[in-house]
Amino acid sequence: MKIAVFSTKAYDREYFERFNNDPGLEFTFFETALHGHTANLASGFAVVCAFVNDKVDAYTIEILSRIGVKLIALRCAGFNNVDIEAAKKNNVKVVRVPAYSPEAVAEHAVALILTLNRKTHKAYNRIREGNFSLNRLIGFNLHGKTVGVIGTGKIGASFCSIIKGFGCKVLANDTFPSKDLIDLGIQYSPLDEVFEKADIISLHCPLTPETKHIIDANSLARMKDGIMIINTSRGALINTADIIQGLIDRKVGYLGIDVYEQEENLFYKDLSESIIQDDLILRLISFPNVLITAHQAYFTKEAMEQITTTTLNNISDFKEGKNLKNEVV
């Protein structure tokens, strides 16, 4: 069975080639992203393997179906970039990786908090330049702070456990509260209460019509002055223009993001010799209290292995006509 892998980097190819033990799976790797203008590259392939910023909309799916693609294998957990209804209509199945080392993303969220707070990235650069001053490097104790967690799936639950270990009070919000987290001492609260009481808010919910721009001018107005906001989930959970205004007004004291609304035009690319055309990301980069990483929260050896092996198993199950336990329905 032939599989076209889109948005491929060297590390993707390395892991697929290392863990593929099925001689019946033949991979072709494309560096280009999957979208309507590149879908025809999958001609002659039964499966396409897509990533978070590939645009698998109705138009793309219609092309894929017409050229014989029967399965879209996502090597990620989120599927907001896929038109599931269009896939059903065209009889194209969609599978995903529902969980892969949730600790990887949760730990990265904590790293963003600690770095923003204690300014270790700035201290590192100062020391390299022979500047040993502590001016403007003051932080605050995490112990005793109230941390709001929006979304307590596997990643959010892992984050709750870690941040509680710092001695923080955790206020969580989720449609389906976790008994295990309640037993751990996590308090579930209405969203308004989380906004009003938290010193730090970390986003771990999926992107849905209900959660899009969950952080906007209205929600920011209900938060404490100087709020720290962390997003390692999906970029569109935050209204970028509103968060910039919040930074200008000093309502937002710290912003740490591993995702961005328009990241598909930027992330995973070396643009160091290019003129970046995105005015909003340039504005964000200009703030001294903003820390941006390029969708690397998942990027650990353990997570890469789990993503790869689950994707391979999903494709093998499809090839052998087995039940697709990770199918998006």
302-323, pLDDT tens digit by residue? 999 999 999 999 999 999 999 9
Q: Is the Cβ–Cβ distance between 223 and 197 less than 8 Å?
A: no
Looking at the domain assignment, is residue 326 inside a domain?
no
Mean pLDDT over 126-152 rounds to: 98
- What pLDDT band is residue 100 in, cutting at 50, 70 and 90? confident
Report the number of secondary-structure helices (H) and strands (E) in the chain.
12, 12
Looking at the domain assignment, is residue 224 inside a domain?
yes
What does the alpha-carbon distance between residue 281 and residue 246 come to, in Å, rounded to a whole number? 15
Give me the half-sphere count of Cα atoms (radius 13 Å) on the Cβ side of residue 191.
13
Looking at the domain assignment, is residue 19 inside a domain?
yes
| pLDDT number for residue 329 | 87
Q: What is the pTM of this model?
A: 0.92
Q: Is the Cβ–Cβ distance between 119 and 170 less than 8 Å?
A: no
What does the alpha-carbon distance between residue 205 and residue 148 come to, in Å, rounded to a whole number? 12
Supply the mean pLDDT for the chain. 97
Percent of the chain with pLDDT over 90: 97
Range(s) of the domain holding residue 49: 2-100+301-319
Mean pLDDT over 21-44 rounds to: 96
| pLDDT number for residue 99 | 83
Percent of the chain with pLDDT over 70: 100
Q: Is the Cβ–Cβ distance between 62 and 91 less than 8 Å?
A: no
Looking at the domain assignment, is residue 327 inside a domain?
no
Of the residues 295, 302, 305, 320, only one is catalytic, namely 295
What does the alpha-carbon distance between residue 196 and residue 174 come to, in Å, rounded to a whole number? 16
pLDDT in tens, 254-268: 999 999 999 999 999
| pLDDT number for residue 294 | 97
Of the residues 35, 96, 213, 234, only one is catalytic, namely 234
- 295 carries an active-site annotation: yes
Looking at the domain assignment, is residue 120 inside a domain?
yes
- 128 carries an active-site annotation: no
- What pLDDT band is residue 130 in, cutting at 50, 70 and 90? very high
Based on the fold, state whether residues 183 and 265 are members of the same structural domain: yes
Based on the fold, state whether residues 135 and 215 are members of the same structural domain: yes
| pLDDT number for residue 163 | 98
Based on the fold, state whether residues 69 and 82 are members of the same structural domain: yes
What's the total number of domains in the chain? 2
Based on the fold, state whether residues 162 and 223 are members of the same structural domain: yes
End-to-end CA distance of the chain: 23
What does the alpha-carbon distance between residue 116 and residue 46 come to, in Å, rounded to a whole number? 45
Based on the fold, state whether residues 108 and 95 are members of the same structural domain: no
Of the residues 75, 213, 263, 264, only one is catalytic, namely 263
Based on the fold, state whether residues 166 and 206 are members of the same structural domain: yes
| pLDDT number for residue 108 | 98
Based on the fold, state whether residues 171 and 221 are members of the same structural domain: yes
- 264 carries an active-site annotation: no
What does the alpha-carbon distance between residue 212 and residue 210 come to, in Å, rounded to a whole number? 6
Based on the fold, state whether residues 84 and 113 are members of the same structural domain: no
Q: Is 34's pLDDT higher than 90?
A: yes
| pLDDT number for residue 135 | 97
| pLDDT number for residue 197 | 98
Side chain identity at 241, as an amino acid letter? A
Mean pLDDT over 168-187 rounds to: 97
| pLDDT number for residue 177 | 97
Based on the fold, state whether residues 96 and 106 are members of the same structural domain: no
pLDDT in tens, 41-91: 999 999 999 999 999 999 999 999 999 999 999 999 889 999 999 999 999
